[in-house]
Structure 1
Amino acid sequence: MQNDDLTAKLKSASSKCTCLDGKNKLLQQELLSMKAIEKKCEKLENKKQKLKQEIVNLKRHMEMNMVELSEVLLYKQKIEERARQDVEDKLEEVNQILQLKKKEDEKAAAEIYEEFLAAFEESDGNKAKTFVCGGVVNAAKEEHETDEKIGKIYHPSSRFADQENPPNQSSNERPPSLLVPKPVWLRLVNIIEEKETEDVPDDLDGAPIEEELDGAPLEDVDGIPIDATPIDDLDGVPMKSFDDDLDGVPLLDAAEDSKKNDPIFKVAPSK
């Protein structure tokens, strides 16, 4: 009886041991899992601390950068103000220089104009037309043009000379075959010889002017020479300018006409 009871107790004890072994294994597994979770928590805590430290550092860095940015903006504003002031000073200096130069130019123009008026009042008969344009005197050009006009009035042959010698053609480019008029003294000798050889008609007194001019050479009519000699045949013959024909001819009428029709000088409006 005792053996049976002992065997039964042994069996119950062994069954309890097996149950406890199973529980022990489960508890060990749970303990391992808890240790792993604890390690993970520690790692997360470390990361959390690091993140907090980074946040603090970022805040400090942001505060420092904000202070530097404000200083940069202030420095930039100072530089812009200084540059603006420098530009204004330079513009003021340039404006003063331009004003001084303008005054000097006006003074020089007034002096030139006064000298021109004095020279014009002292000129001989005020023959040439002189123009003052913008304070610049160009008397030589106008005097040359006036001389050319007067030469065409008192020398009709000069108009044919302009046709034979175009203005765009230089003297070196003119062909040698062009003819030049005879000197004045040679033309006068020919006229005298022709008049001596001609017989004067009896009824010349009652003839009109047109009939009197029919037999006369054209030199007597309008001063245009008909006979001409090539340039190659004039070697050694003294030439005389057509301007010599004006000796003794008064130019007062042309000057008076120019004074009546055109002003003596013109002043261009200043801009």
Structure 2
Amino acid sequence: MRTASRLLAGLLALLLAHSALAAAREPTIIERSSVEYPPSARRAGHEGTVTVSVEVLTDGSVGTTTVVTSSGSPILDQAGVDAVRAWRFEPATGEDGKPIAGSVAVPVTFKLTDAKITPNTALSEYTATTEAGRLGMIWMAYHRYQGFNQAFLEKCEALGVSTAAARAVNQKLNAEADAKAGKLEQLLKIALANNGADPDRQLADMRLRLDTDIKLRTAELVGKATGPDGQRRQCEDFLVYLSRIEGSFRFSDYYERLLAL
């Protein structure tokens, strides 16, 4: 019995010694690089705090990272992990003063600040927590959808592919959204004007940016097809897609928001 007691006491002592060694000093942050707020999360109005468990190796480098507490946004969670991996740490040390591997929980907070909005703030920089930002996101999604379709249809027509039937079907599918487009733009202009911005200039600038992006995307997509025959087949596939409900604006995340105006 005494032997068992002594053995148990010895094991307990070893465990306590090991715990004391591991907890002598936890890893500490010695340099925080700036945390980038993902533009898509900012525009969507996402904010919160993500807590990341960081394994700090004996040389101070970062090992594995794990999200302990989510911010509620996968985009912000990933941005928090990416930021922490770029930070510099001092490793934990044991009672003997030598570096040991250890872990530390690090909170990363993302907080929206809309007070900086000025008359010159670009439409794409407004967040969903503002009226102009909420309406602007719907407006940009609608015009990006319409602009890309128009650009691709023009490419198809230049190749001698008839687009009339697909245009007619797609127009019927988008009738409700198209009917709300005018009201959307009117409300957006009012919201921009309330922020002291020039609505016509803001929308003209954004149309130019969208057109540039659409041309690049269209050229990239067309470039994936091999030769004129391949491009025509690509057009035919696109026209089939455009004639289906999944090829309409109804499949956009912003469709219901547009109809609710």
Verify same fold: TM over 0.5.
no
**Scaled by the length of structure 2, what TM-score is found?**
0.24
Instruction: Choose 1 or 2 for highest CA Rg.
Output: 1
Which is bigger in relative contact order (C-alpha 8 A, separation at least 6)? 1
**TM-score, normalised relative to structure 1:** 0.23
